[in-house]
Amino acid sequence: MPEEPTVPQPDVRIREIAPRLTFQNHPVPTEVKTELVRRLLDAGVRSFELSSFVRPDLVPGLADAAEVFARVPRVPGLTLGACVGNTRGLARAADAGADTASFLLSVDEGFARANIGRSTADSLAELERMAAFAADRDLVLDTYLIFAWGGPTGPARGAADLEPLARRLLDIGVDRWILADSVGYAAPPQIRELVTAALAHVPADHLTVQIHDGRGMGLAALLPLLDLGVRAIDTSLAGSGGHPAMPGSQGGGVCTEDAVQLLELAGVSTGIDLSRLIDTANWLTDEVGIPGKGFVRHTGPVPAAGRPAEPLAFAW
């Protein structure tokens, strides 16, 4: 039989986090979540943070996590991840068929105590127990470093702040990290400094960067990642997101469709169809009613061969 054609691998793997980040703050029926994923699959997205296995009384918008995992169509190359806060959540993620589970470790001590009622040190002890659990199962355990560049209760953070935490994580045996600029503190120099420090401890293919565009620097912060060899980036469709216990906070991730256009113009392939992505972003914001941001879905993509500019529409 003839061999199936090889699908080129993208230069950057975009992981879409809206199914978790957005719906934790804007509850919708399970059918809407699976429809979003279906549309994103049609656009070429193959990596998702699908939900969180956390207490449903605290995050009711994600209480259907197991059902969402069960309903998502499996296609070649698909990777499905989930957030977890303890060993119980890790076990639920494994049972649901998650490929990866990400521990929600806050670098900001004040946020950690307010959000989950335990210190960062206590969270690290829990992560150590989880690492032992995951080692016996076919599940990749990584960890967020939420507020890696600084958090709401403290100043901006730099490379020196990362060192003791990095050593502790490696002692535990967790060497896959998601550096999250959760409040948008980092411009390109700060991105470069902290990511360079992280790469002294883990290889580039073990590092994901997630930027929340709270201060308008999100897109600019992506370009240094390419120079540093980071090829895993978390984004959120239409820049959507939020935290259920922090109403009004700027909790959206960097906008997926804007990021894909930037990477495309930089000559970096993502494997994602920008036109379909824009249609899906408009569906999410207009038809579902999820608050969104972004530019390209309003203005249209940069014109190119086969993709002409919109005709002028003067008022006189």
The DSSP string of 94-132 is HHHT-SEEEE--BS-HHHHHHHHSS-HHHHHHHHHHHHH
- The pLDDT value recorded for residue 200 is 98
pLDDT over 60 (residue 72):
yes
Burial 67-87 (b: 16+ CB within 10 A, else e): ebbeebeeeeeeebbbbbbbb
pLDDT digits (tens, 9 = 90+) for 37-58: 999 999 999 999 999 999 988 8
Contact between 50 and 20 (Cβ < 8 Å): yes
pLDDT digits (tens, 9 = 90+) for 261-309: 999 999 999 999 999 999 999 999 999 999 999 999 999 999 887 777 7
- Would you place residue 118 in the very low, low, confident or very high pLDDT band (cuts 50, 70, 90)? confident
Closest among 269, 266, 295, 268 to 281, alpha carbons compared: 295
Contact between 252 and 293 (Cβ < 8 Å): yes
pLDDT over 90 (residue 252):
no
Contact between 24 and 52 (Cβ < 8 Å): yes
Overall average pLDDT of the 150-161 stretch: 88
> 313 exposed, middle or buried (CB, 10 Å; 0-12, 13-18, 19+)?
exposed
209 token code pair: 């960067």
Look up the pTM and report it: 0.93
- Per the model's pLDDT, the better-predicted residue between 221 and 82 turns out to be 82
DSSP states along 245-266: TSTT---BBPBHHHHHHHHHHT
pLDDT over 90 (residue 87):
yes
Closest among 253, 191, 199 to 223, alpha carbons compared: 191
pLDDT over 60 (residue 2):
no
